[in-house]
A and B are shown apart, each in its own frame.
Chain A
Amino acid sequence: MEASSIDIVVFAPLAPILGVLLFWFIQLVFIESEKYLLSKIRPKHEPFCRFTNFLGIFFQTICHALGYTVTKSGISNFYIDIDYGKVAPKKEKKGIFEWVSNVFLFIGPFFIPAFLLLICLFFLMNSGFEITTATQLQELRYTFGEQITSFGASLFSFTNAFLNFLFNIDLLHPAHFGFLILMIFLGMGIRPSYIGKEKKEKVDMLYDLKNIKALFLNKPLYLIILFTLAYILFYVSFWFNINWYVALFVILGWLSIISILSIIIADLILILIKTSDEISGNKKALPYITMPTSYIFARVFFFYIPTDFTRPLSILILILSTITVTYFLTKRKTDKFKTKSDIKKLKKKRKGVKDG
């Protein structure tokens, strides 16, 4: 079996790019789900939604400022509040510099905050950062298939290690706990829900895609340069037989995975908030109290009766007890409206009396 030259020269470099695009789209879909949940809880949790919005605007503004710093435009004005963020450059640079700073503004928020978490993960996780070579057949190396499989295998290895870390997370360890909080913050505020005080402009998937489309279509030459650079890097990797090319895109894939998992955790919290809103009175605080209490109880229990899976079991107990408590409390809410005597029985009794 031999690889065709066209495959290696033309199609292979596209493989990791398509892989990153796929994961980025998945990220966008998850962001959309989060925006939906936030819009559902907004009437009752306005300050919380404002906080998530502030996080989103904060990430976006920092990315924009980073763009101006990288392009050496300087920052003359940095303004941020809960509705709006603005960064003004010292020197108005045109051409490629302006384009690069816009790339930071429009694409940066999806990857740059997650990059900070990736740095933290380097210190917390022992494995998962390997770039896997998928095929053992030398003839098939640097083909489209090998590139995409290599990209996928590297992502799989990272995701596996990351999920393993998350299920074994020690919530009594300050670094682990801090990482989880950062993850939740990233998930909650990966994108703001709206921008501007007066006009409530919703920042949804289409808004982001329109901006990115305009960014690329306004300057098609830069897009061609970007692709040319990608191809050059691929050929250099091929020449030296070290897969730097896939490694570069795998890092972007890792960032997408971190973002997706952060959004999933944030979504779970939002679902809990939405569900607990249905519980009446002070009892709505019970699910939130159950979370730390059940975890500490489980850790103390497993401290005296040690097992091999203390941490994952404690996490499992936390999740199950929170779900159980929330379920019973929401179920009780509907019971409240039921009459003491069964209506069907009452109807039968009434009919019996009428009949004689």
Chain B
Amino acid sequence: MDEDELLKGERVEKILSPHPLSFMRYQSLSIFLVIWGVLVLWVINASEWQKFFVNNFLLSLSLWAIGLLLAGIVASLITIRWSIFILYTCIVASGTGFIFWLGLQDVIGVFVPVYTIFISILGFIFVEFYRRSHKYYISNQRIKFKGGIITKQERTLRYDKVTDINAKQGIIGQIFGFGTIIPISQSGFGLGSDKSFAGGGVSLGEKKVKFLGLFGGGKEVQTPRARSYYELHGVYPYKEVKKLVEEMVQGNVITPYQQEQVAFQKEQVDIQKQMRDLLKMQSDSKADQKDNEDGNE
């Protein structure tokens, strides 16, 4: 955070960025690509099934493409993110395009694995750039979140606006000592929802006569969720940061005793104001009376 961005009396306590392994869900997509690339290289060129792939580029291409697409479907279903399937579909489509465009059918056994590994390296680089674009500033007054490669996102959260703190640490986080802290604001920023939907169709009759009935239902559960640039994503050391944030929030939130004290003081001030007004009225009336008496004389 630059000097001119600091508020009056503000002091930065900690500057944080996500741990290199905290974006494992994205990195695992690239890891799978490396494994799949090596596996395809082995199956086509060195395994006992090698003979099936000699002079049969369509089989090699199908093996590679189907494997990737299936993995994309499975990953998308598990994570409920169709972007993974779309990403893998794009990789398959561009790879197939390159093969036909450059006429690489004869060297498909080498091209496809090399291409897959190259894409995975690009993936790793992109994730690393994305990680490095994140910066979190914990000051004595607020938390500032920054992130984004092209479009820069920013969020500022004052401690007195934090209603709840959600913290999570996966197994890799527990091993390496990092974790994610989501401060939930009064406006509900930091909350997402999980939706589930069940549907069914019934078709009756034969040939052209069909009856279709649809039946469905939905369910929504609120859960702490935010984009990585709106939460303290994969911060290290997790326990220390969590304690610091909790202390900051605690220090900025009025406790019930303090609330009682404030109410009491307010009451006192009101009484004093009333007394002041009464005294003023009394002194005013006395002054008026004196003026009248002087006038009469």
Contact = CB atoms under 8 A, between A and B. Distances in A.
Nearest to B43: A174
Q: Which of B42, B174, B175, B176 has the most CB of A within 10 A?
A: B175
B251 to A, nearest CB: 27
Contacts of A172: 42, 46
Interface string A63-91: 00000000000000000011000000000
Interface in B134-175: 171, 174-175
Interface in A24-66: 46-47, 50-51, 54
Contacts of A50: 174-175
A47 B177 CA distance: 8
Contacts of A82: 171, 174-175
A54 B171 CA distance: 9
Nearest to B47: A173
A174 B39 contact: yes
B135 to A, nearest CB: 24
A54 B42 contact: no
A50 B177 CA distance: 10
Contacts of A81: 171, 174
Contact of A174 (B38, B175, B176, B177): B38
Contacts of A54: 171, 174-175
Contact of A173 (B42, B171, B174, B177): B42
Nearest to B35: A174
A337 to B, nearest CB: 33
A174 B42 contact: yes
A171 B39 CA distance: 12
Nearest to B41: A172
Contacts of A47: 175-177
Contacts of B46: 172
B176 to A, nearest CB: 5
Contacts of A173: 42
A76 to B, nearest CB: 22
Contacts of A174: 38-39, 42
Nearest to B21: A47
Contacts of B177: 46-47
A82 B179 CA distance: 14
B205 to A, nearest CB: 46
A338 B176 CA distance: 38
Nearest to A82: B174
B175 A51 contact: yes
Nearest to A52: B175
A173 B39 CA distance: 9
A326 B42 CA distance: 31
A269 B176 CA distance: 20
Nearest to A170: B46
A237 B134 CA distance: 69
Contacts of B171: 54, 81-82
B107 to A, nearest CB: 18
A172 B42 CA distance: 8
Q: Which of A46, A173, A174 has the most CB of B within 10 A?
A: A174
A188 B74 CA distance: 31
Contacts of A51: 175
Interface in B172-199: 174-177
Interface string A142-176: 00000000000000000000000000000011100
A82 B175 CA distance: 7
A50 B172 CA distance: 10
Interface string B40-77: 00100010000000000000000000000000000000
Nearest to B42: A174
Interface in B26-44: 38-39, 42
Nearest to A53: B175
Contacts of B39: 174
A42 to B, nearest CB: 14
Nearest to A173: B42
A170 B46 CA distance: 11
Interface string B100-117: 000000000000000000
A54 B177 CA distance: 13
A289 to B, nearest CB: 17
A51 B171 CA distance: 9
Nearest to A83: B174
Contacts of B38: 174
| Nearest 5 interchain pairs by C-beta | A82-B174, A50-B175, A47-B176, A51-B175, A47-B175
21 contacts: A46-B177, A47-B175, A47-B176, A47-B177, A50-B174, A50-B175, A51-B175, A54-B171, A54-B174, A54-B175, A81-B171, A81-B174, A82-B171, A82-B174, A82-B175, A172-B42, A172-B46, A173-B42, A174-B38, A174-B39, A174-B42
Given A47-B175, A81-B171, A82-B171, 15 more contacts: A46-B177, A47-B177, A50-B174, A50-B175, A51-B175, A54-B171, A54-B174, A54-B175, A81-B174, A82-B174, A82-B175, A172-B46, A173-B42, A174-B39, A174-B42
